[in-house]
Amino acid sequence: MLSLLAELWEFIRVRKKYWLLPVILVMLALGALIVLAEGSAAAPFLYTLF
Report, as an integer, the average pLDDT of 19-35: 88
Q: Read out DSSP for 1-50?
A: -HHHHHHHHHHHHHHT-TTHHHHHHHHHHHHHHHHHHTTSTTHHHHHTT-
pLDDT digits (tens, 9 = 90+) for 35-50: 777 766 766 776 777 6
Cα(4)–Cα(28) distance, integer angstroms:
14
Cα(37)–Cα(43) distance, integer angstroms:
5
pLDDT digits (tens, 9 = 90+) for 10-20: 998 999 989 98
| Residue 1 clears pLDDT 80, i.e. is over it | no
Report, as an integer, the average pLDDT of 23-34: 88
User: What is the model's pLDDT at position 26?
Assistant: 93
